[in-house]
Amino acid sequence: MRINWFKYSSPQTFFPLAGKLALGFGTLALFACAVGLYLGFFVAPTDAQQGESYRIIFIHVPAAWMSMFLYVVMAFWAGMGLAFNTRLSGMMASAIAPTGALFTFIALWTGSFWGKPTWGTWWVWDARLTSELILLFLYFGFMALQAAIDDPRRADKAGAVLALVGVVNVPIIYFSVKWWNTLHQGASVSLTKAPSMAATMLAGMLIMTFGFWFYSIAAVLLRARCIMLERERSSDWAAQYARGAT
């Protein structure tokens, strides 16, 4: 069977598909978070060094991973929009930014609430924390820049340049714990060595990561649908949808 992928590159055909996908991924997210939190709170043992405070890990690490991953995906769509001038690419980049900012804030907030009992401070200006804060400002900068330009196509282009320049910050965040002396611990989970944590802790954390990932997909698609309706409000398909939505 041949699938015409370009069929879904126009808002008109992508809009209903995005709705169905958002529902599916939203359901998966709910399920994954329920399982992940059950493992995290009722199966995973108490940490020998940190006691129960470590249970923040089940949202902190997935949120931090999503904050970086979403930025890369946002920069990818922004770059696609610049290179191929496709309508949907810019809409996807704009749709990702607020959810990316949300997870960046959650990573910073939960990190702060974890730092207080374990390090004795809510905040330090070390490399990992500072570069993650810069990521939050990059998301805010992207959104503010787009909001300041009235023509959506020009807003997409300006935002895309900012997103692509800012992507250099992502490896800086990731490797900051190696490159500099920081208060933040190194990676407990990496592709190159065995994870240094109990299996049930790791399972809970990975399942929560999938939960946040699926949630991000659902939220981004829902926002992309809003953006499609806003930008194409004078089109026939949007009018038809609005009549049906009554």
Positions touching another protein (CB under 8 A) are: 41-46, 51-53, 55-56, 59-60, 63, 98-99, 102, 105-106, 109-110, 113-114, 116-117, 215, 219, 222-223, 225-226, 229-230, 233, 238-239, 241-243, 245-246
**SS3 of 133-167:** HHHHHHHHHHHHHHHHCCCHHHHHHHHHHHHHHHC
**Minimum distance from CB of 32 to another protein (Å)?**
14
**Minimum distance from CB of 170 to another protein (Å)?**
22
Query: Of the two residues 63 and 127, which places its CB atom closer to another protein in the complex?
Result: 63
From residue 86, alpha-carbon distances to 69, 80, 89, 117, 167 in Å are 22, 7, 6, 48, 21
> Identity (one letter) of the amino acid at 174?
Y
Query: Of the two residues 83 and 239, which places its CB atom closer to another protein in the complex?
Result: 239
Query: Of the two residues 167 and 213, which places its CB atom closer to another protein in the complex?
Result: 213
**Minimum distance from CB of 108 to another protein (Å)?**
11
Tokens of 83: 């290179």
Element (H, E) at 117: helix 87-119
**Minimum distance from CB of 67 to another protein (Å)?**
13
Is residue 71 within 8 Å of residue 170, measured between CB atoms? yes
Query: Of the two residues 109 and 175, which places its CB atom closer to another protein in the complex?
Result: 109
